């Protein structure tokens, strides 16, 4: 049996475990920051209201749906997922393709994924965030809730790091300063989800 090259081992580890080894770390938040993040989590308009049904958005949905078919065979569920990703990422000022890359590394697109540290759902959100900025009805296994929390948290880390994606991803994974996780996410993003047709602001 051929052995995988050493350079591939981090990616294989992430794929086999369904996510990254580390997890988001609790950090005390100023009251004003908690309030702002709570407002961001609580505002929940319908996904269809963002971006309308533009031809570009529909082309993005169709393209990403085709790429995601093997991981999510159910077409209706796949389209619901992609619409929610597009909406929540765009709403948070993130590139939807980046979010897809992060989800691939974090959960392997498994809705009910739970890490050894207790992180939950597609974007592997730690439960302490519910107490910090959510409410008792926040279910991290719910599609929109998980994406809303995950995108809001990543945006928060990007703001803290003044747009430095490498450091923001490190914070998201609880491995600030280490290259493995940011490189995994960027690699998944660029290899599987990059699409120049989308006019979206990069973080």
Contacts of residue 68, Cβ cutoff 8 Å, sequence gap at least 6 = 78, 81, 82, 100, 109
pLDDT given at position 2: 41
pLDDT tens readout for residues 29-51: 666 666 677 777 776 655 554 44
Q: Is the pTM of this model over 0.85?
A: no
For the question of residue 88 being annotated catalytic, the response is no
pLDDT tens readout for residues 79-95: 999 999 999 999 999 99
Do 158 and 203 touch, CB atoms closer than 8 A?
yes
Q: At what angle do helices 55-68 and 96-107 cross, to 10 degrees?
A: 20
The CB-side HSE value for 56 (13 A sphere, CA atoms) comes to 9
Catalytic residue among 48, 66, 75, 106: 106
């Amino acid at each position: 049996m051929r052995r995988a090259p050493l350079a591939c081992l981090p990616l294989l580890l992430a794929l086999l475990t369904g996510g990254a080894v580390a997890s988001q770390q609790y950090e005390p938040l100023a009251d004003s920051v908690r309030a702002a993040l709570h407002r961001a989590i609580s505002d929940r308009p319908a996904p269809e209201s963002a971006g309308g049904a533009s031809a570009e958005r529909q082309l993005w949905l169709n393209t990403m749906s085709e790429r995601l078919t093997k991981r999510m065979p159910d077409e209706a569920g796949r389209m619901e997922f992609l619409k929610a990703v597009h909406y929540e990422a765009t709403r948070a000022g993130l590139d939807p393709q980046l979010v897809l890359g992060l989800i691939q590394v974090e959960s392997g697109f498994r809705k009910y994924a739970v890490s050894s540290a207790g992180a939950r759902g597609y974007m592997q959100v730690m439960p302490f965030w519910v107490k910090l900025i959510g409410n008792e009805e926040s279910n991290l296994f719910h599609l929109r809730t998980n994406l809303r929390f995950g995108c809001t948290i990543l945006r928060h880390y990007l703001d803290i790091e003044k747009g430095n994606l490498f450091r923001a991803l490190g914070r998201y994974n609880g491995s600030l300063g280490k290259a493995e996780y940011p490189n995994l996410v960027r690699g998944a993003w660029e290899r599987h989800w990059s699409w120049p047709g989308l006019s979206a602001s990069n973080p």
